[in-house]
Each structure stands twice: as C-alpha cells, then as structure tokens.
Amino acid sequence: MVAVSSWGRLGHWEHQVAPLHDRSRIAADLATHGSGLAYGMGRSYGDVCLNPGGKLWTTRNLDRFIRFDEESGVLECEAGVLLRDIQQLAVPRGWMLPVTPGTCFVTVGGAIANDVHGKNHHRLGSFGDHVSQLRLVRTDGSQLDCGPDNAPDWFAATIGGMGLTGVITTATLQLRRVCGPWLETETIPFHGLDEFFRLADGSEEAWEYTVSWIDCLSGSGLRGIFLRGNHADDESTVPPVGKPSYLGFTPPLSLVNRLTLRPANGAYYFLHRLAAGKKREDYRPFFYPLDRLADWNRMYGPRGFYQYQCVLPTEQRQDALSALLDETAKSKTGSFLAVLKTFGERQSPGMLSFPRPGATLALDFPNRGEETLALMIRLDAIVGEAGGRLYPAKDARMPQQLFESGYPRLQEFLPFRDAGISSALSRRLLGR
C-alpha cells in the first residue's frame, strides 16, 4: 500500500498502486479483484482521482506517441502522454493543442476524463471536442474504440466520464495550426462585475483567449485584471521588444517563498506585477502561469486546500456571482486570488462535461475544517439556486443533490459505468 494524494493535498490515503506500462497488455493488468481507478498526474484537486483502500492504475508510463501527421495535425498517442510533451513536440512543427487547461502537467487521459477547458472555450470548446477517437479497455477484458462518429454514446459517456467507464489507453487528437509560440496579449485592470462582463462579452468576437484574475477580498466591488490573447500570425521567433516575456513574467513567487506573507498582500503584489498593456509573449507563461512554481499547492500547508469551481448560467451570472463574491469576502477565510471567465454558447461533448454556457468562477480555500465546509455550503446554496453546477475535477465535498441537479444527463451516463471501477468521488456522489 502506498499513500497517495491529489493536488488539494487534503489528505493522503493508502492505495494499491499498479503501474500500467504496455498498452497491449492492459486488459490483463485490469483483470484483478476489487475496484480500481486510473490515475494520471493527480492534478485534480479533490477525490475524483482517488480510490482509498483500492487500486490505482497509474498511467504515467503509457507515454508513447503513436503517429503524428504533420500535414493534417492528427496526433495519436497513449493516454499517459503529458500535454507538455505534446506542446513541445507540436509547436516547433506549427501545431498546438487546441484546448489546454491552466497547467500542462496533466495527462491526455486525465484531460479527456475531466473534459478540461481552457481560456478559449468560447472559440474551441473543451478538450473532448478535439478527440476524434479513443480506445477504452474495460475491467471485464473487453476493449472498444469510440469517437464522435463511432459508438458515440460510449464516447459521450467517456468524455468527462471521470475515468468511470474504463481505462483510456490511446487517443487520437486533432491539433490546430499555429505560426509559432507567440501570442499577442493584453492586460486590462478592471473594477466591478459590470466592467468585467463588458470586457469579457466585448472580447469574445475578436479575442481567442480570455480570462481574469480577481482579488476576492474586495467582494462584489471587486478589482481584477482581464487578460486576453490571440495567436501571433507571423512566424518570427523573436519577440519584438526586449527579452522573452517568458522570463519577464513573474507569477506570485513571493507567495511561496515567504510563507508568512499575508494572502491579501500577495494578491496585491500579484495584481501589480502584471503590468497593464499589450505585449507579445510565449504561450507558456500565458497558458500556464503557475507551472513555473512547482508544488505551489504546498503553500497551503499540511491541511491542504479546497478549490471551489462553479459555472453559473448566463441569465443568473451577475447576481449569483455578486452573491458568491460577497459571501466569500465576508467569510474572510480565504480565497485571495480567483479566476473568473465566461464560457461560450456551446454544447459540451460529454454527458457529464463541466462547461456549459455562462460564467465560471474558481476560488481557493485553505482547509480550515468546519469553517471552510460551512462556507462552501453557503456557496452551494447560491450555485444551486442559480441552476449552476460544480466541477468534479476540483471537488472533494459537494452534496449529492447539487451534483444531481447540476448534471441532468447523469441517468443517461450510469449504464456506461465499468463495474470494476470506483473512486472516492463516485462512492460519494453516485453511491458506488
């Protein structure tokens, strides 16, 4: 048994760890007694990737590419390949992942199983929208290939299926063309939700990437910075001004170095480090600002932290967001930096995909036990009332009823579950 945790470090639980190595032998590897679960990089915050007392099939060694067609941008690879490795391979050849989350240290399997989204959801949807085929191995020894055009029901269950339909062993992805690694970006400070929505809605047409960081301690009278970006459409490999902005960008390093720093000061510092204005920068600091701080999650100390990410339907977004931010500010328990972004008007590919039209807010809360749980229950009430949903990839505690109301296709999903797979989250929210 080995103690395993996830990104939120809320605890460490004993698991039987069984590494998967050879994609042709996985059916045999899965044929064991007791329940198991695939585990990628454990970059999920809560318990979606944990199976305490049971088996974890680690996929990190399923890290082979299978084929890449430089003409069409079609890439086939094993499910343990990291998004970082795909970017490193593809960008110099004029291709890039069409959708990427805020860290590149996640596996392809994990990105599919949570149907992750990026800053360009309004343009290109979620990760699953760019998967054309995947292979699923089930614990009964069967194996099936599915995609949007073949076995589409299995596909829709597996995209965002939280690993519960089987183990994904390989996937075929359609990459998107880029001229190079450069983005033209703009940073705009703003005050208040009205201004945020004006910026967000007004940028959807002309900007592919949009996101904002906000300082939550200010409540709904919030201040924040709005970031937007487009791919540079020329191939020059040298940024026009100064040194590469990859080096010029300083994420909140001091937060980690000086553990005693008051969070509010940290937020202040961080917001001020991001100079307003336009620049050309490498995709990495823009997409993955936190990846340069390995293990930043440890700054929350031994008790770990919760992330609370919800999406609120467009009609309710303003009122509900105000209420959430006020509640958070009032509680003073914590989240000092939060991410706020709008999702586009599109249907997600998975039955249990998180993205839906509306606005999404992600808040970090250091784990202070009951106090933190009580706050999140108050937030649940606001999200539930607004008809919103929470993101299982970030969750360790949502009430079953909020899950059921947030994911109306749940019943449709259940028949696709693999009887030999279970997670802490599935036991909590799906009964087994």
Partner 1 sequence: MGEQQRIIVIGATSAIAEHCTRLWMSSPATVLLVGRDEARLERVADDLRVRSPASAITCVAIDFCDPVAIRTLVDDFAGGGAIDIALIAHGTLPDQQQCQQDLVACRDAMEINSLSPALFMEALAGHMGPANRGRLAVIGSVAGDRGRRSNYVYGASKSLLDRYAQGLQHRFAQSGCRICLVKPGPTATPMTARLTDEGLALARVEDVAQVIVKGIVKGKPVIYAPGKWALIMMVIRHLPRFIFNRLDI
Ligand X SMILES: Cc1cc2nc3c(=O)[nH]c(=O)nc-3n(C[C@H](O)[C@H](O)[C@H](O)COP(=O)(O)OP(=O)(O)OC[C@H]3O[C@@H](n4cnc5c(N)ncnc54)[C@H](O)[C@@H]3O)c2cc1C
Query: What is the phi-psi region of residue 234: left when phi exceeds 0, alpha when psi lies from -120 to 50, beta otherwise?
Result: beta
User: Where are the extended beta strands (E) located within 130-261?
Assistant: 131-137, 143-146, 167-174, 176-177, 182-191, 209-215, 223-231
Q: Does 42 bind ligand X (CB under 6 A)?
A: yes
Could you say which of partner 1, ligand X, none residue 113 binds, taking C-beta under 5 to 8 angstroms by partner kind? Answer: ligand X
Using the minimum distance from each CB to ligand X, give the nearer residue, 101 or 358.
101
Using the minimum distance from each CB to partner 1, give the nearer residue, 97 or 157.
97
Kindly tell me which residue out of 30, 41, 90, 321 binds ligand X, with binding defined by CB under 6 A.
Answer: 41
Site for ligand X in 46-65 (CB under 6 A): 48-49, 59
Q: Which residues bind partner 1 (CB under 8 A)?
A: 1-2, 16-19, 21-24, 61, 64-68, 70, 75, 89
Maximum pairwise Cα distance, the chain = 60
Q: Does 163 bind ligand X (CB under 6 A)?
A: yes
Could you say which of ligand X, partner 1, none residue 37 binds, taking C-beta under 5 to 8 angstroms by partner kind? Answer: ligand X
H and E: helices and strands count for the chain? 15, 19
Could you say which of partner 1, ligand X, none residue 38 binds, taking C-beta under 5 to 8 angstroms by partner kind? Answer: ligand X
Q: Closest distance between partner 1 and the C-beta of residue 227, in Å?
A: 32
Nearest-angstrom CA–CA distance, 300 and 333: 13
- Tokens 């590494």 belong to residue: 19
Nearest-angstrom CA–CA distance, 125 and 116: 9
Using the minimum distance from each CB to partner 1, give the nearer residue, 1 or 206.
1
Q: Does 359 bind ligand X (CB under 6 A)?
A: no
Q: What is the DSSP string of 212-229?
A: EEEEGGGTTS-EEEEEEE
Nearest-angstrom CA–CA distance, 294 and 305: 16
Tokens of 133: 């085929």
Site for ligand X in 380-419 (CB under 6 A): 393
Using the minimum distance from each CB to partner 1, give the nearer residue, 21 or 123.
21
Site for ligand X in 2-21 (CB under 6 A): 7
In the shown chain, the binding pattern of residues 168 to 187 toward ligand X, with x for contact by CB under 6 A and - for none, equals x-------------------
Could you say which of partner 1, ligand X, none residue 293 binds, taking C-beta under 5 to 8 angstroms by partner kind? Answer: none
Could you say which of partner 1, ligand X, none residue 68 binds, taking C-beta under 5 to 8 angstroms by partner kind? Answer: partner 1
Could you say which of ligand X, partner 1, none residue 284 binds, taking C-beta under 5 to 8 angstroms by partner kind? Answer: none
Using the minimum distance from each CB to partner 1, give the nearer residue, 170 or 331.
170
Name which of 55, 114, 47 is nearest 79 in CA terms: 114
Work out the number of other CB atoms within 10 angstroms of the CB of residue 277.
9
Nearest-angstrom CA–CA distance, 172 and 305: 34
Instruction: Round the CA-based radius of gyration of the chain to a whole number and report it.
Output: 21
Work out the number of other CB atoms within 10 angstroms of the CB of residue 142.
11
Using the minimum distance from each CB to ligand X, give the nearer residue, 151 or 179.
151
Site for ligand X in 83-122 (CB under 6 A): 101-103, 106-107, 109-111, 113-114, 116-118
Could you say which of ligand X, partner 1, none residue 67 binds, taking C-beta under 5 to 8 angstroms by partner kind? Answer: partner 1
Q: How many residues does the chain have?
A: 432
Q: Which residues pair with 230 in a beta bridge?
A: 184
Could you say which of ligand X, partner 1, none residue 59 binds, taking C-beta under 5 to 8 angstroms by partner kind? Answer: ligand X
User: Is residue 418 exposed (0-12), middle (13-18) or buried (19+ Cβ within 10 Å)?
Assistant: buried
Nearest-angstrom CA–CA distance, 244 and 180: 14
Q: What is the DSSP string of 297-335?
A: GGGG-TT-EEEEEEEE-GGGHHHHHHHHHHHHHHH-S--
User: Is residue 411 exposed (0-12), middle (13-18) or buried (19+ Cβ within 10 Å)?
Assistant: exposed
Specify the stretch interacting with ligand X by CB under 6 A; choose among 44-52, 172-180, 310-318, 323-331.
44-52
Using the minimum distance from each CB to partner 1, give the nearer residue, 23 or 292.
23
Could you say which of ligand X, partner 1, none residue 66 binds, taking C-beta under 5 to 8 angstroms by partner kind? Answer: partner 1
Give how many residues touch ligand X by CB under 6 A: 33
Using the minimum distance from each CB to ligand X, give the nearer residue, 239 or 355.
355
Q: Which residues sit at the interface with ligand X, rule CB under 6 A?
A: 7, 37-44, 48-49, 59, 79, 101-103, 106-107, 109-111, 113-114, 116-118, 162-163, 167-168, 290, 393, 423
